Amino acid sequence: MPLHKKNITLKIAGSGDKQYIKALSKKYSMNNISFLGFIPVEEFYPEIDVLIIPSLWNEPLGRITFEAYSYGVPVIASCRGGIPELVENESTGFLFDPEKPENLLKIINDIATRPELIEQMEDACLKKAMEFLPGKIAKSYLKIYLSLVKR
């Protein structure tokens, strides 16, 4: 399934093995794909409409997910590890099976043809981000610890 919109751009951020990145950059040398390297989150998230987390391994906690939410950015993520617990499908983002790349392409095409989906998800993402504020998490841990001490 090809991408239907020519105006879709892919910005790849982060660092890793230099040879691997060089090989990817060479293989996918297209005008609509940018390899940004490491970039501060406050510069990256305002520049994107949606974040794709294509994890192939069972990542226990995708911190990048709630970082995106704090900027009102919906997440398209693989349904591996703990990530599906963070993404509310069709509310704060979308989930896909990484072994079926056509599912990811379908989601991208849906968003490209219906960009209002992203706008509709922004408030849900910002609200979801509130669940991960340090004070709120600390309070939850304290509540658990106190309940255990009482036993």
- Looking at residue 98, its pLDDT comes to 94
What pTM was estimated for this model as a whole? 0.85
pLDDT at 90: 93
pLDDT of residue 4: 53
DSSP 109-131: HHHHH-THHHHHHHHHHHHHHGG
CATH of domain 10-150: 3.40.50.2000
C-alpha dist (Å) from residue 58 to 33, 49, 80, 109, 137: 26, 25, 5, 26, 23
Per-residue pLDDT of the chain (151 residues; tens, 9 = 90+): 555 556 789 999 998 899 999 999 999 888 889 999 999 999 999 999 999 999 998 988 888 999 999 999 999 999 999 999 999 999 999 999 999 999 999 999 999 989 899 999 999 999 999 998 889 889 988 999 999 998 7
Distance in angstroms (rounded) separating the CA atoms of residues 40 and 67: 12
Distance (Å, rounded) from C-alpha 114 to C-alpha 18? 36
Question: What does the pLDDT read at residue 37?
Answer: 92
Q: How far apart are CA 139 and CA 147, in angstroms?
A: 12
Cβ burial of 67 (10 Å; 0-12, 13-18, 19+) is middle
Angle formed by the axes of helices 63-70 and 116-129, nearest 10°: 110
For residue 149, give the 3-state DSSP assignment: helix
Domain ranges for the chain? 10-150
